[in-house]
Structure formats: C-alpha cells, structure tokens
C-alpha cells in the first residue's frame, strides 16, 4: 500500500512540475477589452521554441491567420476557423505576425517572438497593414 501511495504522489508531483515549467500562453479573442474593440488579449507574446499558444474564442467572429511574409522561413500557412479555440505549437524560432481575418484593418493583430529570435524583423517591417492596424503596428514592432 505504501508504495502505491508513493507512486501516486510522484505522479502528482511530476504533473505539477511539468505544468509549472511549461511556458505555454493563452490569448483571448475579444470584441472588447477596456477601451479597445476587436482585440487579442495580448498583442505581443514571448515564448520558447516548442511552446504552444492557445487562442480562446471567448467572443465569436474571430480567428487567427498568419500574415504572408510575416513568419519565419519554413513556416506553413496557418488560418484557423471562426468561433473556434485554436492552438499552435511553435517549433521554428523567429517573429510571427498574425491577424484576425475579418478585423485585420481594425487593429486585431498580434505578434509572437519565439526563442528570442528577431532575425526576420526586416520582413515584419514590410508587412502592409491598413487603417487602425497601420496606426498601431509601428509601436508594436518597435517593442518586439
């Protein structure tokens, strides 16, 4: 009996430890946050290579689409379905720029820096944002 108890305690500790060390992030897709509308709850997220980001469809009508030319070389096209929670595991270091397809001009943009790697910053600066996104993008890119 004693050994079973030990095994259970070990498993619990192991689960707790792996949870503590995972740097995974959750970002909410929102219609409103403070005085902003159509936003991701975090605009810039820094993670390690191999980490996963979960985007939660807290409000409906949003998605996540990697911007063409806004991801490191070798990263495949990625576009999630509307109204659905989605996750992505980042295995290639660099900067990832994404937006919500219907709100890409309304400031619903986000950036992920993976592995503290900014080697594709020049291509990120070349992304053509429009309207409100064009207004907010430079400050965000400067703070990557």
Task: Report the interface residues with Cu ion, using CB under 5 A.
Answer: 38, 62, 100, 103, 108
Chain-centroid distance of CA 49 in Å reads: 13
CB of 120 to Cu ion, least distance (A): 24
CB of 122 to Cu ion, least distance (A): 27
64 or 113: CB nearest Cu ion: 64
43 or 62: CB nearest Cu ion: 62
CB of 98 to Cu ion, least distance (A): 11
Are the C-beta atoms of 140 and 108 separated by less than 8 Å?
no
Are the C-beta atoms of 76 and 62 separated by less than 8 Å?
no
Question: Residue with CB nearest Cu ion?
Answer: 100
| β-pair partners for 36 | 33
- Angle (nearest 5°) at CA 137 between 80 and 103: 40
62 or 132: CB nearest Cu ion: 62
95-123 CB burial, b ≥16 within 10 A, e <16: bbbbbbeebbebbbbbbbbbbeeeebeeb
100 or 113: CB nearest Cu ion: 100
CB of 64 to Cu ion, least distance (A): 9
């Amino acid at each position: 009996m004693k050994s079973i108890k030990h095994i259970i305690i070990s498993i619990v500790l192991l689960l707790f430890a792996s949870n503590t060390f995972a740097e995974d992030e959750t970002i909410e897709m929102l219609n409103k946050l403070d005085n902003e509308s159509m936003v991701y709850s975090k605009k810039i997220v820094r993670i390690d290579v191999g980490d996963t980001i979960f985007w939660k469809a807290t409000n409906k009508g949003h998605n996540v689409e990697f911007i063409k030319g806004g991801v490191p070389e070798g990263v495949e096209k990625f576009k999630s379905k509307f109204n659905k929670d989605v996750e992505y595991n980042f295995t290639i270091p660099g900067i990832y720029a994404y937006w919500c397809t219907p709100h890409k001009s309304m400031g619903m943009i986000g950036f992920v820096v993976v592995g503290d790697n900014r080697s594709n910053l020049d291509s990120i600066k070349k992304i053509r944002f429009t309207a409100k996104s064009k207004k907010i993008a430079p400050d965000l890119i400067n703070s990557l």
